[in-house]
Every structure is written in C-alpha cells, then in structure tokens.
Structure 1
Amino acid sequence: MNNQLHLEAFVVVGTIAEQARSEALIAALGAATPPPTTTTREPSHLARRFAGLWENMDDDLASDDDLLLKSEKDLHDSARRNDLNRITELLRKGVDVNAKSYTNRTALHLAAGKGQEAAVKLLLNHHAVVDDEDKFGMNALLLAAWFGHLNVVQLLICAGAKAACKNKNGLNIFHCAAQKGSVDILQFIIENFENLSLDKPDKSNQTATHLAAEHGFAETVAYLISCGASCNITDNEGNLPLHMATRKGHLDAIREIVTKTRDINAKNSEGQTALHLAALGGFPRCAQFLLSFGCDINSRNRKGMKPLHCAAQESREEVAKVLIDGGADVDGLDDMGSTAAHLTILSNGTGIMKLIIEANGDLNLLDNNHQSPLHLAAEHSHHNIADLILASGVNLKLLDKQGKSSLDIAARGNHINLVDMIIKADHFYNWEQKNRDVDQESWDLQTVSFCQERRAESKHMRWVLWHLATQLLKPEQWKELAVYWQFTAAHIHAIEQQWTGPKSYKEHGHRLLLIWFHGILMAKENPIKALYEALSAIDCQVVAEHVRRKANGEPESPRKCMLS
C-alpha cells in the first residue's frame, strides 16, 4: 500500500512539473500560441492527499496497516486526548478533518467516544461530517451514547445528527445508552424525540430493556419500564429481559422485571426458564427470589433437565442446596435417564452429592446406558465422590448394557484405588449384614470411608503387611488368604488385572492385605491375631510366627504395633 500511494503521488506531481517546464519553455521562445493541451487523468482522492509531499516529504503513512498519514494520525490522537491547540494547528495546515482510519473512523468518532466535548465542537466547526459511519455502522452519536456522554450527545443532535440512526447490527441510540446504564441520555432522547420507539429491536430482536437487564442496570430497567417499555418481547433465542438478567445473576434487575413479566415460567428456545439459568450460572439468591415468586422448581428444558440437573451439571452447590431445600425432585430423570446424581459425577461435585445423599436420593437408579452413579465414578476415577456413594450403601451388583459392574469398569480402566475401594465396600457390606445388630447405637455414630488407610497409628502394621506381601508370601498364597477371608472370585480377578511384571503377585498380595486390614479396623478386631490365624489356616505356620514377632516387636522397638 505504501509503495502504491507513493507511485500515484509522484505520477501526479510529475505531471504538474512537466506542465510547468513546458510553459516556461514557451515563454522563453516567445511562442505566440501554446502547444496542444494534453488530456490528463483527474488525480484520485489518495493522490490529492499527496499533493503536499513537496512541502513535507516526512508525512508518510502512519503504519503499513493504516490508511492515515502521520499528520492525520496526529489529528486523531489529538482529538482523542482533547488537545485543542494541536487540532487547530493541524487543521490550519490543511489536514483532512474527515480522514478515516482502517476502521473508517474519523477524528469526530474518537472525540465523541472519549466524551471530549470541546474537541467535538472544534471539529464540527471545521466541517466534520456528523453522521459518518465506521465499518461497524457506528456514527459519532451512537459512540457518544455507547460510552455514556450526554453532553456530546446533545451537542451532536444540535449539529444535525440523526437520532433515528442505527448500526449494522440494528443497535439504535436507546440500545447504546441502555447497555451503559445511561438514564440521562435515555431521558433526553425520549423527551425530545417522541416518535422513536423504545421497543425497537436490533437484528437479534433484542430491545433496550434486554440490554439494560443483561448488564444489570436496575435503575435503567425501571426507567424504561416507567416510560412504557415492554418486558414481554423475546429475542431470536426466545429470551425475555428476565432471562437476560438472570443469566448474569443481576438480582436487582430481576426485581424490577419480574412483576412486569407475563409468565415467570416462560421458556426460551432451549426450553429454559429463568430458574434454569440461575442454576446454570450459580446464582443462589436469584434462585431463591424466583422460587418465592412461584417459579416452577421442576420445570424441564428441551433436554428434559430440571433446574437441579443444571445445578448438578455445573457443580453449583449453593444453588443445589436452595433447590433441594425448596423441594426439588432429587430423583428426577432427564431425557438421557440421568438423575442429578449422575450429572454431579461428571462435574465431580462432591458437595452436591452429599446434599443428594442427605435428601435420600436413590443412587441405584440407572440411566439410558444402564449406568449407576457409581459406574460413572468408576469410569472417571473420581475417588472422593465414589467414597461418598459407597459409604451411603449402594447395590454393587448392578450391570450396565455391556454386563459390567462398577468393579469391572474400575478394573478395566486400571483405576487401582477405586478397585480396592469397591472391594472394601463389598467386603464391608457382607460383614455389616452379619454384624449390624451388634452395638447398633455406637455403630451408627461411626464414620465410614473406603479410602486408603493413612493414620499414623496404623503405620507399623501397614509396614508389616508390605513386608509379608513382598518378602514372605509365595505367588499363589495371597489368593489362598483371599479365599479364607471370603473374598469373591470377582474381587480376585479385579485385583489381578493390574500387571506390573512377573512379580505382580507381590503388589496383588499387598493390595489384598490392605483391603483386609481396612475391614479389620472397621470391625475393631485385633489384626495381629486375625492375620496369625489366617496364615496358619493356609499352612504358613512359620510365616505366621515370623509376622507375629514382627508385628509385636520388642518393648523398646520404635516399630512396636500399637494395635496389639
């Protein structure tokens, strides 16, 4: 672009110079008549801009990607910072007051957008075009309204700016003022241009009220409503101003709109009510307020999702609590057969899972893939949430469409810790079935967890179990212990799926012993005595005696077992 402009300029300058030399030659020779006139091309706009190059050869383009000369760029910058002396100086030198940047913006656009009232006056006095539009269709008036400059808006209107203008997206002066919360500009336009409609939509079919609500300007919303603006116009996506305010969590705007909205349970094109949007956005106060006005707590969107599904999907714990406390259906199914519990697994929302469990949600319900929440937790390896589910007591025999249990899913994914947790739970459930009647009251007070045992008081015994598994047991003996302790074939198979090489049996044995140890601690039994009896039962008397000594140790030994 730079080279092209230079070329065109020098063509014009060269033509002028050639004509001057011809006239001088004629005068010197005393010719009676001038030579025939040569028809020349009218210089283009860009060429005329270069006509002063002989006087100022330094006035090149401001940058390679701009259309402005340096002097014109200087004018724009001066207008932006309200430097009246520099603007006057540049205009006196003949700089084009209407020179446009690559976005088609003039100095007037920039001064108006910055609210530089004095610069706007000066530019208008030098014949700046008041209604020139940039590449977005924004003129100086719309920019002044967009940035909330009332004085500049009034000045431009007095200079002949058209109040009924709009940009390429259909935004008019009401839209521009509303999105900024400029009540003063709205009031000025409404009082002086009664023929302009407040509810004129843009190309998205949004009105000024939509934009004021979306940006949370409650005072602006109230003023528009008081002037007759409607709260019941839907945009191209079916959203009312109520939807727009709720999506962003603007409670004060919601308060202004809700009583003027024809149907508080109105749905947008996705079937979402305002309560759905409050749940998705995580706005508990908005949700509480909408519920107090009768918003349907179990309304379904186009995917069959209720507000609680939305809160679970986005892990919005505070909103979920509001909904559950308000009576939301914790076991409701969406079109995929998912409950809120299924969806909170995907977002790993342990807090919401606790709320669902406390509300007695059914964690054995299967979705359309015949997967329970535990299946999903096993698939995604969410340990904490799986622990909550297992501690609540669920059916571990449920199978998905492929005939896989949650244990199978965890083992297939090589989620070792989850495999061990599920086996612990299954082993514990069986023990609980037989022993629940023993000391029922103290048992109910016990906190159940199936995570790895890491307490300091069990550290020595865990070392003894590691020593037993890695140094003393032969390859198949860990399985004999598993059978003795009534672990199932499925349990053994799941443990065996972990492969670490030819000596994997050591890791398998260690895992089994830790799983067993967890159950012993839960049952409050003596692990040394129980382990000695089990090793003796599989004909490992020597190992049993060795382990007993290791576990008990000498009185002065720092490794003395604290559980014996």
Structure 2
Amino acid sequence: MAVKPVDRPSAKKALDDSWIREVIDDADKKGWTLLHHAVLNDTVEMVRELLAMGTNREAENSDKKVPLHLAAETGRQEVVKLLLRKGANKEAKDRDGKTPLHLAAERGHEETVRELVQYKANINAQDLTGKTPLHLSAEAGRESTVSALVGLQAEVEAKDQKERTPLHLAAESGRVRVVEVLIDNPKDLGMKDYFGRTPLHIAADSGRVDVVEALVQKRVDLEEKDDENQTALHLAAKAGHEQVVLALLTAHAEINATDSFYGYTPLHLAAEGNRLNVVKELLKKGADMKKADSFYGYTPLHLAVAGNKLNVVKELLKSGADREAKDFEGRTALHLAAKAGYASAIDELAANDAKRNVRDSCGFTPLHLAVRAGQTRTIFELIYHNHSLREEDNEKQSPRTMAEKIGNHDLSQMLEYLEQLGETDTEHLRRFVGTFKGRLSRLGLSRE
C-alpha cells in the first residue's frame, strides 16, 4: 500500500499560530527576539513573515542593537533591503553609539554600505568616540569600502574625539592601501590630532614604514612638529623604529632637530631609550653627539650614562663622543655614573681615558658624589682608576671629610685608612681596592 504524503504547514501557517503571536516580541536573556535570530540566521522568508505580523523591528538586545544592526554587521544584504523597505530606523545607535552604517563599514560590507547610503543613512554619523563610518572602515583596513565611502562623499577630514581623521587611524594601524586611497585628498595630509600630530607623526611613532614611505612620496612636511615640538624623526627614534628612521633620513629629515621641552634631538631620545640600532644609524648619518639639551645641558652621552645604557655608552664613545662635556652643573658623564653607582659605566669611561678628578660647579669630583650617595663599590671603582682621595671641593672638603660631615663615620674611617695606605704605596692601594671592589660585586652590593 502506498504511503500517503504528510501535509507540512507553510511558514505562514506556522507563524499564524496564536502561540507565536503571543511570543513574537518576547526576548531571551540577552534581549534577542525572534526577529534578531531570524536576521542573524539570514532566514529571509522568516524575517518577511515576522514583519508582516507586526513584530517590533526596533527591538533592542542587551547591546542596544536592533535587527538592522545585525543585518548590516553581518552583511545580510537581502535582509537589509527588506528591513529598510519596511521602514527600519537606519539611524538607530547601539551601546557604542554606532549606527548600522558604522557596523557595515567596519566589517567591510561595501554593498550594504551603498544600500544604507541610498536610503539616506547619515554617512558622517559619529559614534560615542566621535568616529564616523569612514574612520572605522579606514582603521580596519577595508580598502574597497573606504573607496566607496569616499566616492559617496563621506567627510574625509572628519575628526573623532581625539581629533584624529580617518587617515590618522589608517596610518596608526598600518593600512597602507587605505592610506593610498585617502592621501589623494591633499588637504588631509597635514591635519593634526589632539596632540598636534599629523598622520606622518602617527605612522612614525607606530613603526609603520610602508605608510611613512607613502606619505613621504606625497611630499608631506617632514619637519612638522607636534605639541611637544617633536618631529616624526624624534618619535621614530624614541620608539626604536630603525627602518622608519632610515626612511625619514633618506628623505632628508632634519637629523638634529630639537624638541621644545628638553631640547632633545633624535639622538638624545634614542640614547635615553637604549635604542642601540637607531643610535648607530643616526651616528652613521652624522648626528651631532656634542649637542646639549636645553634643560640640563646633557649630551647624548650624559643621558646614556645616567640611564646606565651601557651598550649605547660604548657606541657613543667608540664614535668619538666628548667624554669631558659638562652639563649645566659642570658635571661630566663620569660624575653622573659615580653619583648613580654605575660601576660598569665608570669602567667604560675610564677605558676611554675620561679625565679624572674633574670638578663640577660646587667643586665636587666624581669621588665626592659617590661619597655623598654612599656608593661603596663605586668609591672603590674610582680609587682603582686613580681618582684622588685628597681633592677638595669649594668648601675645602675632601671625600673623607665630606663623609664625616654627612654622618657616615664608617665610610670616613675607611677613607682615612685608604688615604694612609696610598701615602706609602699607591700600587698596593690600587691592588687592595681592586680586590675589595670585586668582593662587593660578588655580594651584589653595587649597581652594574
């Protein structure tokens, strides 16, 4: 006997059931209604029937997203068209202040973007951070969508809450293809954000060498300065982006430009930040090692020593940095090493014939400063390198009498013993302190 086919209810009949009518706008724990689920599953027929039954097309889930947000975000093109034809609110905003157009642009759904704009969606709407759809599309690297938005007359120079344009965001995230689309608008190239930084600053600081090269080809101003009076080269040097530094130098960026706060050059910043490879490249290109900052009078060598950046110290000395350069207090790099207790830096300076017993504006020698700071290992290091125990400062204090004056009686007695030892046999004194400083080093009682 033949099996009789079973009649299956149509989608329309199923939706017409009274129990569905009662729950049509009920939401789950995340605020999702049947329409949200139908949209996400791209069930066009189900969406159509739900809309025909009068479901709330503006129902918000826990993220304040209406069904049109979900359709735009996932690129459900037919569903987007259906919702728009049924009058869905194209300017609805989710909890981040994003419209459906923001989400479509961010995800790179070009056709959805065009559909929304055709229905007069606000192409320059701003989310809670002030970003437009073009900002989000540029930041995400959606080249074709960016091109579409630009062609649809999106505001290329729109600024977010940090005053960044879409080009700033594309530069920061290294979206070079997007950058190439956006830089066809020359007015945008030099616009500054909240910190006074141009897209070139942003790209240099972020290490985006491809973006830097693209901007350089458009002849952007390499010497434009941000609110700290720093150029793109300053930022690249400080961050240690060697390839960006090379690209900027190849384009003839000013190698000795100074910032406004400390008067630092790119070499100062690279030395302070222990960016050895950048230091090497800057030196190869002729960076001025003698240039002092305007705040302390520090040269790059002062900064490298003060930060105990030993490899940078070695590179600067090898390249001929002035070992005797003085800061505004009359202190050499050796003074700074002694005060901070950097024994290895003292060794390196001594190996490069740094002058001993130099007096600062108070008459302090490096040994005086080591005594004031209680740097025992450093004291032995300096004596080992033939620094005098009897040099006096402007108040006629020797290192020993200084130790006594500041109340370090044990140190004073030790220095007195060393003075007496040196009076009879200076070579024996040197051997003695050499042995003693080695013991201190093994005990970890010094800063290398």
Q: TM-score range by the shorter chain?
A: 0.7 to 0.9
Question: How far 1:505 moved relative to its partner?
Answer: 7.2
Is it true that 1:357 corresponds to 2:291 in the alignment?
Answer: no
Question: How many residue pairs were aligned?
Answer: 401
Question: How far 1:169 moved relative to its partner?
Answer: 4.1
The 2-side partners of 1:426 and 1:342 are apart by: 22
The 1-side partners of 2:245 and 2:143 are apart by: 28
Q: Secondary structure at the match of 2:244?
A: helix
Question: How far 1:82 moved relative to its partner?
Answer: 4.0
Of 180, 183, 192, the residue aligned with 1:234 is: 192
Task: Write the mapping of 1:96-495 to structure 2, written as runs, cut at 5 A.
Answer: 96-100=56-60, 104-115=64-75, 128-191=88-151, 193=152, 195-226=153-184, 230-303=188-261, 304-336=263-295, 337-426=297-386, 490=398
Code of the residue aligned with 1:376 in structure 2: it is L
Question: How far 1:141 moved relative to its partner?
Answer: 0.7
The 2-side partners of 1:376 and 1:312 are apart by: 15
Tell whether the 8 Å contact from 1:111 to 1:119 is kept in structure 2 after alignment. yes
Code of the residue aligned with 2:319 in structure 1: it is A
Question: How far 1:367 moved relative to its partner?
Answer: 1.7
Pick which of 376-385 and 330-339 moved more: 376-385
Query: Closer, same or farther in 2 for the Cα pair 1:177/1:426, shift >3 Å?
Result: same
Question: How far 1:335 moved relative to its partner?
Answer: 1.0
Tell whether the 8 Å contact from 1:79 to 1:108 is kept in structure 2 after alignment. no
Question: How far 1:347 moved relative to its partner?
Answer: 2.9
The 2-side partners of 1:111 and 1:517 are apart by: 86
The 1-side partners of 2:82 and 2:383 are apart by: 82
Question: How far 1:106 moved relative to its partner?
Answer: 3.3
1:153-190 CA-to-partner distances (Å, cap 9, x unmatched) read 23433554232323344422222211112110022223
The 2-side partners of 1:77 and 1:290 are apart by: 51
The 2-side partners of 1:266 and 1:330 are apart by: 23
The 2-side partners of 1:277 and 1:373 are apart by: 25
Code of the residue aligned with 1:271 in structure 2: it is N
Tell whether the 8 Å contact from 2:276 to 2:311 is kept in structure 1 after alignment. yes
Question: How far 1:257 moved relative to its partner?
Answer: 0.6
Code of the residue aligned with 1:277 in structure 2: it is L
1:403-427 CA-to-partner distances (Å, cap 9, x unmatched) read 4322122223222211111111125
Query: Closer, same or farther in 2 for the Cα pair 1:343/1:91, shift >3 Å?
Result: farther
Task: Write the mapping of 1:19-168 to structure 2, written as runs, cut at 5 A.
Answer: 70=29, 72-73=31-32, 78=37, 82=41, 84=43, 96-100=56-60, 104-115=64-75, 128-168=88-128
Pick which of 317-326 and 148-157 moved more: 148-157
Code of the residue aligned with 1:279 in structure 2: it is A
Question: How far 1:248 moved relative to its partner?
Answer: 0.7
The 2-side partners of 1:150 and 1:364 are apart by: 64
Code of the residue aligned with 2:305 in structure 1: it is I
The 2-side partners of 1:216 and 1:94 are apart by: 46
Q: Secondary structure at the match of 2:236?
A: helix
Pick which of 75-84 and 204-213 moved more: 75-84
Pick which of 170-179 and 220-229 moved more: 220-229
Tell whether the 8 Å contact from 2:197 to 2:227 is kept in structure 1 after alignment. yes
Q: Which runs of 5+ in 2 are unaligned?
A: 1-18, 391-396, 436-448
Tell whether the 8 Å contact from 2:71 to 2:77 is kept in structure 1 after alignment. yes
Q: Which runs of 5+ in 1 are unaligned?
A: 1-51, 60-67, 431-481, 484-488, 528-564
Tell whether the 8 Å contact from 2:134 to 2:154 is kept in structure 1 after alignment. no
1:371-408 CA-to-partner distances (Å, cap 9, x unmatched) read 32222222322232232122222233233454432212
Q: Partner of 1:28 in structure 2?
A: none
The 2-side partners of 1:114 and 1:512 are apart by: 85
The 2-side partners of 1:381 and 1:421 are apart by: 10
Query: Closer, same or farther in 2 for the Cα pair 1:170/1:505, shift >3 Å?
Result: closer
Q: Secondary structure at the match of 1:404?
A: coil
Identical pairs, percent:
28
Question: How far 1:299 moved relative to its partner?
Answer: 0.9
Query: Closer, same or farther in 2 for the Cα pair 1:382/1:521, shift >3 Å?
Result: closer
Q: Secondary structure at the match of 2:385?
A: helix
Query: Closer, same or farther in 2 for the Cα pair 1:188/1:414, shift >3 Å?
Result: same
The 1-side partners of 2:212 and 2:411 are apart by: 66
1:531-553 CA-to-partner distances (Å, cap 9, x unmatched) read xxxxxxxxxxxxxxxxxxxxxxx
Tell whether the 8 Å contact from 1:275 to 1:307 is kept in structure 2 after alignment. yes
Query: Closer, same or farther in 2 for the Cα pair 1:170/1:497, shift >3 Å?
Result: same
**Is the radius of gyration larger for structure 1 or structure 2?**
1
Q: Secondary structure at the match of 2:178?
A: helix
Code of the residue aligned with 1:175 in structure 2: it is H
Tell whether the 8 Å contact from 2:35 to 2:50 is kept in structure 1 after alignment. no
Code of the residue aligned with 1:255 in structure 2: it is E
Tell whether the 8 Å contact from 2:39 to 2:47 is kept in structure 1 after alignment. no
Query: Closer, same or farther in 2 for the Cα pair 1:399/1:121, shift >3 Å?
Result: farther
Output the aligned Cα RMSD: 4.3
The 1-side partners of 2:49 and 2:382 are apart by: 80
1:339-361 CA-to-partner distances (Å, cap 9, x unmatched) read 11121133321111112101221
The 2-side partners of 1:517 and 1:343 are apart by: 35
Code of the residue aligned with 1:353 in structure 2: it is V
Tell whether the 8 Å contact from 1:370 to 1:399 is kept in structure 2 after alignment. yes
Q: Secondary structure at the match of 1:426?
A: coil
